Amino acid sequence: MTSRSDVAKIIDHTLLKPEATTADVEALVAEAKDLGVLAVCVSPSMLPLSDTGDLVVATVVGFPSGQVKPEIKAAETERAVADGADEVDMVINIGQAIAGDYDAVEADIRGVVNASGDALVKVIIESAALSDEQIVEVSRRAEAAGADFVKTSTGFHPAGGASAHAVALMRETVGDRLGVKASGGIRTVEAAEEMIAAGASRLGLSGSAAILAGLSD
């Protein structure tokens, strides 16, 4: 079994529900500090955050559909970084990937990377909506565009969230050059451990406390 401390160090403690309030986000930050996780991930309208201590602050761009013009994603990224985001999780244009327009997908990602300054960029590929071949090619394009991570899911797509199969495929494609973030529907210790075993180096969790409670050092 993976140790509690090891898992805590790779968790993005996440609250992206559209009905979340400022008070909810303040509670998320307080809980994240208490749990000892790596990061919090919140909607860009919630930035800047206060009293984050040593927490990494992550936000989302083009979320959750990805169907936003590239220049808007870039501008959203610039604003998020100005508002204190250390990391930006951007959603690709999933329709472009399905249509095979990978040059457009890569350009979209590159625009966010170029706008991100020193912030780390994670590319949400919505793997449950893509074929294996599409997952591989989008992961390659994310690396070519200069991204730091590929990420499975928004957690909002009806096709589903993270799968160990997709994580393993992404890890095989990017090797140890990029991080792989598993996110979306990870609600049990077993699921978290399965994602880590498949190659995930970061976990996006809304139920971090329950998962960590099932682990020990």
Choosing from 73, 108, 122, 181, the catalytic residue is 181
83 is catalytic: no
CA pair distance 170, 97, nearest whole angstrom: 15
60 closest CA partner among 181, 195, 188? 181
Question: What is the 8-class DSSP label of residue 171?
Answer: H
The answer to whether 135 touches 143, Cβ cutoff 8 Å, is no
Choosing from 12, 89, 108, 148, the catalytic residue is 89
151 is catalytic: yes
- DSSP symbols for 101-127: -HHHHHHHHHHHHHH-TTSEEEEE--G
Q: Residue 215 corresponds to which tokens in the numbers above?
A: 């682990």
- Residue reference for tokens 């927490």: 55
- Residue reference for tokens 């409670």: 213
Choosing from 108, 122, 148, 151, the catalytic residue is 151
Which amino acid appears at position 181 of this protein?
Answer: K
CA pair distance 209, 35, nearest whole angstrom: 7
Question: What is the 8-class DSSP label of residue 92?
Answer: P
Residues with Cβ within 8 Å of residue 182, at least 6 apart in sequence = 151, 152, 162, 167, 195, 198, 200, 202, 203, 204
17 is catalytic: no
Residues with Cβ within 8 Å of residue 27, at least 6 apart in sequence = none
Q: Residue 52 corresponds to which tokens in the numbers above?
A: 């984050």
Residues with a known catalytic role: 89, 151, 181
